[in-house]
Amino acid sequence: MNGVVITVKDYKEIRQMYLSGVSKRQIARQLQISRNTVDKYCKGCAVP
């Protein structure tokens, strides 16, 4: 499995941005991570 390691700080930032109304696509662009990763963490089903 390849990819970027998501830290707890990143996870919290993703959740905070999502809950404040930022789109998943925009979060992915700003943090330079995949939309699938953002989606997974927005759902809250996985914690790094």
Domain ranges of the chain: 8-43
pLDDT at residue 43, as a whole number = 86
pLDDT at residue 5, as a whole number = 81
Give the helix/strand (H/E) hosting 23. Answer: none
**Going by C-beta distance under 8 Å and a sequence separation of 6 or more, which residues neighbour residue 19?**
none
Q: Which residue, among 24, 39, 31, 34, has the nearest Cα to 9 in the 3D structure?
A: 31
Count of helices and strands (H, E) across the chain: 3, 0
Amino acid at 36: N
pLDDT at residue 1, as a whole number = 46
Q: What is the pLDDT along the chain (48 residues), one digit of tens a residue?
A: 467 788 889 999 999 999 999 999 999 999 999 999 999 898 876 666
Q: Which residue, among 39, 9, 10, has the nearest Cα to 23 in the 3D structure?
A: 39
